[in-house]
Amino acid sequence: MANEILAREPNYLEYQGKHKGIAGWLLTLDHKRIGLMYLMAIMVFFFVAMTLGVLMRLEMLTPGETIMKPQTYNSVFTLHGVIMVFLFIIPAIPAVFGNFFLPIQLGAKDVAFPRLNLFSWYLYILGAILAVASLFSGSGAADTGWTFYVPYSIRSAQNVTMTTMAAFVLGFSSIVTGLNFVVTIHRLRAPGMTWFRMPLFAWGLYATSWIQVLATPVIGITLALIMLERFLGIGVFDPALGGDPILYQHLFWIYSHPAVYIMILPAMGVVSEILPTFARKDIFGYKQIAISSLGIAFIGYLVWGHHMFVSGMSDASRIVFSLLTFLVAIPTGVKIFNWVATLYKASIKFSAPFYYVLAFIFIFSIGGLTGLVLGALATDIHVTDTYFVVAHFHYVMFGGMGIMFFATMHYWFPKMFGKMYSEKIAIIACTQIIIGFNMLYFPMFIMGYMGMPRRYYDYLPQFQGWHILSTVGSWILVTGIVFMFGNLLYALLKGPKAPDNPWGGTTLEWRIKGLPTLENFEEIPVVTGGPYVHDRPTYIMHPSKEIQHTNGDAKKAEKEGVSH
Amino acid sequence: MTEYTETAEHVHESGHMHRDDEASKMAMWLFLFTELLLFGGMFLLYGAYRFQYADGFKVAAADMNSFIGAVNTIILLTSSLSVALSIGAIQRNQKKLALAMLWFTLLCGLGFLVNKYFEWSHEISNGIYPGGPALQEMSNGQVIYFGLYYVMTGLHGLHVIVGMVFLAVMIAFIQKDIITNSNYQKLENAGLYWHLVDVIWIFLFPLFYLLH
Amino acid sequence: MSEQIYSQEQASGAQAAHHTEGGHAHITGYGTYILVWLGLVALTAVTVTVAGIHLGSLTLITALVIAAVKTSLVGYHFMHIKYDNAITKIFILVCIVIFLTFWILTFSDLSFR
Amino acid sequence: MNPITELVDDSFIFIVGISVILLVGITAAMIYFVFRYSEKNNPKPDQSITGSTTLEILWTVIPLLLVLAMFFYGYAGFKEMRSIPPNAMVVKVTGKMWFWHFEYENKKTSDTLLYLPADKDVRFELQSVDVNHSFYVPAFRVKEDCIPGRTNYMWFHTSQVGTYDIECAEYCGLNHSYMLGKVIVLPESEYLAWVNKVDTVKKVDSVKTDSLKTVLPKTDSLKTTLTKTDTTKAPVNRKDTTRTVKKDSVMRKENK
Ligand code: HEA
Ligand code: HEA
Ligand code: CUA
Ligand SMILES: [Cu+2]
């Protein structure tokens, strides 16, 4: 009977409110539509930045000029970094999938502040426009690297001001999303959903949001100071006037190190969603995984100095930062071990999203473990600012968060669009991505240890073999990614209708029949147990009806429900 | 506690308006944290440079007019009081008093800015501004001191202006009875913001004016 | 409608705990505010006088301590932290702790190089 | 023998070794579970397994010990890098967009090519006159930034005679990738002969400076001349000596 009522409600895609057509999207306050708008915008920039990446690989195919001049190359890697970091990887999972699924997983009708949510999308677009405009105005996009190190960034004749302005605005957008999520998680959990009954994706987002709120302002002011320095010459970052370039690096990394955990924590949250679903079993060590997210977020604030081991920072400081850096590995390890343990005595349903998660665990571990090489003082001093670092961060960013972004798309695609894609093609594409990825980035570790510095337009001939291997890898990766997106796009247009719960997921979004409606739930559900319990229901989806059935036993059920 | 709070600002057409003051207060505090850390970055720079250029900073600070600084401190403290009082007045349903207090706060804010204006123009007319003739003669420590001085007090001044805009909107809301004795979280939030601006000045004042 | 039935359950979720009116039951007397203000003005006077006397490195420390006291007065009374729930207090604590770590770790560089 | 190189390589092998063991273990367990507990092989999952305190403690404490060991390894190498032998010779290194300038103890200078005696400890004082650079000699596993407005230091031990690459490792603008150079380690006697031959070489040096400044931004001539040396390995290939060296005919003869 409940289904009948639901069937009459239009889903969020069909819903016609005050505004129709395109305005119904641009003025929407629905978290799901805003999520999709983010998805579209983010995909556009992701493709732009990926194309820049592939162009860089082409340039590196041969020593000397291959397809571009040094000035172009310098702008290309800067823009590649800026777009990937600020326009893709930081907003991707929180702003798209967090927006879409966080409220549903919490049993809420929307985020706490829908208007702010839309506002943050517009800020994102504004920042994106500025980033793109910096290409075509003034003397062209910044050529400083995404780190904007002074004093080069205040001396460069390129349009650095506009690029930093873009990053500044994007930072603001990120803060607003984070703030919204913290309040949403505190205030809008469904009745019965205690902290330790919250899905782990929500935990990941919670930790992420705190980083967004508490770290982002620091980069805001730092970038603003670069702009002021360029316009007015206030001196705080200009060594000619007594400013200290190392202080700039402190301020930059105070934000940008925690930011790498903004990138990875939501992805780790999704891993914790996908694994129990396909293992068809409760997750191993729920509480440890939940708490370790907060642990990573906190320790993440204490390690920024590991980016500055050769900058001339005090020796004492280098030692402290190196020691602290190693501590981040512990909560991350706890997560990895718990994930693997979840598979023990499971009954695994092998599907595309699960395959991506396996790829993630393998590739991210490589990335993380090489992070330890960078964390150790002696080795970092040798490999810092070489391709070893480039390999490390592509393994964690692309191989970690990027692969999980793909996994997330495959996992929630049926619930977002109501369509099903070809799993076979998805798995083939994933295999190809894994091969191409490793061929692209693994040689960089070797080159890096051999002493190939990063941000080099040109290189010494002894590196050419590795560069060729790497470039060929990028082509394999390109086709894999094109294949994957093609598959999804085809499904979107022509795919068969997806079942309500194709994977047997246990969290609230899978309990919704069909696509979510405007308000997600006809009635706010009542939660009676943990999120990944497979052998009994832990949610009462239609409390008013079901309670009458069971003589108002919701309370009792809740008490009995194991709350982990 | 009779209703399920759907969203703090529940705006779906189909839904009825729900209010969650707790949520909006929480959001306001989070926003204040971001402001705090924004200035925090600047204070960190100040601390670092003061550590490095202790003497230059002292010499530079000797130029500052600590009297104007002190007056401005008192002005802001008083304005904080009046905002707090206006909330108290709204709680007691004394609309007139609340309005008067807010107008008084705006006046204080204006006074603060006027003072700042005179102070800045005095410095500038002496050639003390980034790239200015007097500054070019000075030591690195002094240059950075004044660089920070202009950025930090400028940013603070900007916040005073934003705060005044907030409070002006609150005045309109009170007049239209949107803010009442049972619904005044908006005013609380504006007040929180204003107090934050005050708190930041509480630190700026000794750091820039009392360094002899 | 149904929401009413489940109001009790909400207590175990996040929704419930403090609803609006509950939080605002506390009304501070005007007198308290004015007293606090007097305290703040007095402290300002103290900082100015202390700065006049030459205490060396103590000048900075006293100035900062007084500023911290003033801040806590403003926060506690004017910003109503006094009446706030535990969550807000924890939030503020977290923010302060993070901010302090920025200082401590940055100065681990500056003061040893 | 070069103590730093060995320490760095040893800590690298230590960390990578542990990492590989962990990675293989994790991956093997994962793959084994996926097959052993597939839907087909294990139709009914064991729902009673939700965690284990013992395991949690184990995989917190063991990794903690491992990473502490890694830290100490890295720290030991670092300590060596920062403890300069007391009688090390001093060379002032100045980074400039986009070439290296060296000043020796007797005020003699050279650009791009750094001449050092074999089997000596050398302390470098690193400065920059414009933007950040980073003085990097991969063969000796050391680098340190050159930051305008301050002097950083580093040192290494020149082990054997040979030619080693110098690279700028901190992004510094247009020709960052051409800010290369060579360490030319000579037998002590040849070095002394070179460093004391003030007049002739000085002339050549200034020529070099000028040609570098003018040539670099336009073409990649430096790259084509300063090439073909294995960065990782020490041995010199005499034929690789660069054009600038060739000009210095005296040098070349002494080298042979
Ligand atoms: C998603 C982003 C992301 C993530 C998650 C990480 C994670 C980590 N990173 Fe990385 N890092 C970057 C993105 C990221 N990094 C970027 C972008 C840069 C370069 C920026 C630039 O200069 O442009 C960088 C640079 C960088 C440096 C500076 C290098 C340099 O410039 O010299 C260092 C140094 O310590 C470092 C360390 C680490 C460590 C220790 C972790 C740890 O969190 C990793 C923890 C994970 C594991 C350890 C693996 C899994 C765990 C186990 C298998 C358990 C058992 C293992 C043990 C405990 C031993 N990173
Ligand atoms: C999320 C983060 C992210 C991701 C996903 C990537 C993806 C890629 N990046 Fe990376 N990269 C960064 C973040 C990222 N990058 C950052 C932060 C830097 C540092 C910048 C700096 O130094 O300041 C960097 C720097 C960097 C460098 C170093 C530059 C240097 O130091 O000189 C290189 C060099 O090869 C590179 C290459 C690539 C490539 C080939 C990809 C590929 O994996 C991309 C894969 C894409 C595809 C496979 C294309 C998909 C298909 C299409 C777009 C269709 C049409 C296109 C074609 C047919 C060409 N990147
Ligand atoms: Cu000099 Cu890069
Ligand atoms: Cu980092």
CB A527 within 8 A of CB A539: yes
D42 φψ region: left (φ > 0), alpha (ψ -120 to 50), beta (else): beta
- The Cα of B20 is separated from the nearest Cα of chain C by a number of Å equal to 7
Rounded Cα gap, residues C92 and A183, in angstroms: 15
CB A407 within 8 A of CB A423: no
Pocket lining: A67 vs ligand 2, CB cutoff 6 Å: no
The first and second tokens of residue A422, run together, are 């070809």
- The Cα of A215 is separated from the nearest Cα of chain C by a number of Å equal to 9
Which residue ranges make up each domain of chain B? 28-210
pLDDT for residue B174 is more than 70? yes
Residues 6+ apart with CB under 8 A from A300: A211, A257, A258, A260, A261, A328
Q: Give the DSSP letter string of A427-445.
A: HHHHHHHHHHHHHHHHHHH
CATH number belonging to the domain at A21-521, selected among 3.40.50.10330, 3.40.470.10, 1.20.210.10, 3.40.50.2300? 1.20.210.10
Give me the mean pLDDT over the B88-103 stretch.
92
The residue behind tokens 């955990």 is A261
pLDDT for residue D82 is more than 60? yes
State the pLDDT at residue D241. Answer: 33
What is the Å distance from ligand 3's center to D178 Cα?
A: 8
- The Cα of C41 is separated from the nearest Cα of chain A by a number of Å equal to 31
Give me the mean pLDDT over the B197-209 stretch.
93
From D22, D26, D141, D145, give the residue whose CB has the most ligand 1 atoms within 8 Å, as the site to mutate. D22
Cβ-based contacts under 8 A for chains B and C: 139
On whether residue C13 sits in a domain, the answer given is no
User: Per residue of chain C (113 residues), what is the pLDDT tens digit?
Assistant: 333 333 333 333 444 333 344 444 578 888 889 999 999 999 999 888 887 777 777 778 888 899 999 999 999 989 988 888 889 999 999 999 999 999 999 999 998 87
Count of alpha carbons within 13 angstroms of residue A203, beta-carbon side: 27
Rounded Cα gap, residues B186 and D64, in angstroms: 48
Across A1-10, D25-34, D92-101, least confident range: A1-10
> Side by side, which strands form the sheet with D109-111?
D109-111, D99-103, D89-96, D120-128, D152-158
The first and second tokens of residue B169, run together, are 């909107």
Give me the mean pLDDT over the D203-210 stretch.
41
Q: What is the CATH number of domain D89-195?
A: 2.60.40.420
Look at residues C68, A151, A34, C20 and name the one whose alpha carbon lies nearest to residue B5: C20
CB A436 within 8 A of CB A470: no
Handedness of CA B186, B187, B190, B196 (dihedral sign): negative
On whether residue C6 sits in a domain, the answer given is no
Which residue ranges make up each domain of chain A? 21-521
Q: Buried (b) or exposed (e) across A544-558, using 16+ Cβ within 10 A?
A: bebbeeeeeebbebb
Rounded Cα gap, residues D21 and A360, in angstroms: 18
Which is more confident, D7 or B132?
Answer: D7
**pLDDT tier for residue B136 given thresholds of 50, 70 and 90:** confident
State the pLDDT at residue D1. Answer: 59
CB A212 within 8 A of CB A175: yes
State the pLDDT at residue B212. Answer: 65
Q: Do A111 and B44 touch (CB under 8 A)?
A: no
Report which DSSP code applies to C56.
T
CATH number belonging to the domain at D3-44+52-82, selected among 2.40.400.10, 1.10.287.90, 3.40.50.800, 1.20.810.10? 1.10.287.90
Kindly state which CATH superfamily the domain B28-210 is placed in: Cytochrome c oxidase, subunit III, four-helix bundle (1.20.120.80)
* List of long-range contacts for A399-402, beta carbons under 8 Å, 24+ apart: A399/A360, A399/A363, A399/A364, A399/A366, A399/A367, A399/A437, A399/A441, A400/A263, A400/A264, A400/A267, A400/A360, A400/A363, A400/A364, A400/A367, A400/A368, A401/A89, A401/A92, A401/A93, A401/A263, A401/A264, A401/A266, A401/A267, A402/A89
Strand D113-117 relative to strand D181-186, pairing: parallel
State the pLDDT at residue D226. Answer: 34
ipTM: 0.89
In tens, the pLDDT along A295-316 reads 999 999 999 999 999 999 999 9
State the pLDDT at residue C19. Answer: 38
What residues pair up with D116 in beta bridges, in sequence order? D185
* Mean pLDDT in consecutive groups of 10 residues from the start of chain A, 564 residues: 52 74 82 93 93 93 89 92 93 94 92 93 94 83 90 88 92 94 93 92 95 94 92 88 92 94 95 94 93 94 94 93 94 95 92 94 96 94 95 95 95 93 94 95 95 93 93 94 94 91 90 85 87 88 67 46 38
- Residues near ligand 4 ion, CB 5 Å cutoff: A 257
The first and second tokens of residue B186, run together, are 């908006």
Rounded Cα gap, residues A111 and A11, in angstroms: 18
Cα C65 from chain centre: 14
Task: Decide if B178 touches A, using CB distance below 8 A.
Answer: no
State the pLDDT at residue D228. Answer: 33
Handedness of CA D95, D101, D104, D106 (dihedral sign): negative
What is the Å distance from ligand 3's center to D179 Cα?
A: 6
On whether residue C67 sits in a domain, the answer given is yes
Q: What percent of chain B has pLDDT over 70?
A: 91
Domain count, chain C: 1
C41 φψ region: left (φ > 0), alpha (ψ -120 to 50), beta (else): alpha
State the pLDDT at residue D138. Answer: 93
Show which subunits contact A, needing at least 3 CB pairs below 8 angstroms.
Answer: B, C, D
Angle between helices B140-175 and B21-52 (to 10 degrees): 160
Task: Decide if B177 touches A, using CB distance below 8 A.
Answer: no
CB atoms within 10 A of CB A242: 22
Rounded Cα gap, residues A471 and A482, in angstroms: 17
The residue behind tokens 């930062």 is A321
Which residue ranges make up each domain of chain D? 3-44+52-82, 89-195
DSSP collapsed to 3 states, A28-84: CCCHHHHHHHHHHHHHHHHHHHHHHHHHHHHHCCCCCCCCCCHHHHHHHHHHHHHHH
State the pLDDT at residue A537. Answer: 85
On whether residue C90 sits in a domain, the answer given is yes
Rounded Cα gap, residues A263 and A265, in angstroms: 6
The first and second tokens of residue C65, run together, are 């301590």
Mean pLDDT of chain D: 79
On whether residue C59 sits in a domain, the answer given is yes
Rounded Cα gap, residues B204 and B156, in angstroms: 9
CB A201 within 8 A of CB A269: yes
Closest residue of B to C23, CA-based? Answer: B22
CB A32 within 8 A of CB A95: no
Rounded Cα gap, residues A397 and A85, in angstroms: 9
**pLDDT tier for residue D229 given thresholds of 50, 70 and 90:** very low
A 171-230 residues with CB below 8 A of C? 185-194, 210, 214, 218
Report which DSSP code applies to D238.
G
What residues pair up with D101 in beta bridges, in sequence order? D94, D111
CB D213 within 8 A of CB A431: no
Helices (H), ranges, chain D = 3-36, 53-82, 188-196, 198-218, 221-225, 243-247, 249-255
The ligand with the least distance to the CA atom of A70 is: 2
Domain extent at residue C52:
28-111
